[in-house]
């Protein structure tokens, strides 16, 4: 049962990353990229991002053409992992070609995270049950 939940999460994390990249391809900028450094979307901010990627405009993240980049999120941006926790999304909005997460740096542009069964962010990546869209070194 637990392996099935983890597989579902991996698929959804991959879909979120692909949707963020498709948004950049469509609009020539990262979602919400009025920021000048890496952007972390969590809790309500994550919901605004996922709502926009689902084709709904929000005040923080616009999707003027209402393109549906992401399936699975509700129109209010709610997209919960199997343990009923909202996903965390990090975007390299300054295009530095690296993201920092919990003292780990990765040469990626988008990272999506599920906090796993314990619903808590692990102190160090790989030390607990957090699930990532890509491996962090």
Mean pLDDT per 10-residue segment, the chain (137 residues): 94 96 94 59 79 80 90 87 92 85 86 93 82 84
Q: Give the total number of structural domains in the chain.
A: 1
pTM of the model as a whole: 0.88
Position 15 in a domain: yes
Question: How many angstroms separate the CA atoms of 63 and 34, rounded?
Answer: 14
Domain boundaries, position 93? 2-132
- How high is the pLDDT of residue 71? 92
Q: Which pLDDT score, from 0 to 100, does residue 58 have?
A: 67
pLDDT value, residue 135: 80
**Going along the chain, which residue ranges are E strands?**
39-41, 88-91, 99-101, 104-106, 110-114, 131-132
Task: Specify if 81 maps to a domain.
Answer: yes
Report pLDDT for 76: 83
């Amino acid at each position: 049962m637990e392996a099935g939940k983890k597989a579902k999460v991996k698929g959804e994390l991959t879909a979120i990353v692909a949707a963020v990249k498709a948004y950049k391809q469509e609009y020539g900028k990262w979602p919400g990229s009025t920021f000048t450094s890496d952007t972390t979307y969590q809790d309500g901010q994550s919901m605004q991002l996922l709502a926009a990627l689902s084709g709904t405009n929000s005040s923080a993240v616009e999707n003027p053409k209402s393109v549906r980049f992401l399936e699975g999120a509700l129109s209010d941006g709610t997209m919960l992992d199997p343990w009923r926790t909202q996903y965390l999304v990090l975007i390299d909005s300054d295009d530095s070609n690296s993201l920092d997460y919990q003292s780990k740096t990765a040469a990626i542009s988008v990272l999506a995270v599920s906090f796993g069964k314990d619903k808590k962010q692990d102190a160090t990546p790989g030390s607990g049950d957090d699930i990532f869209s890509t491996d962090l070194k």
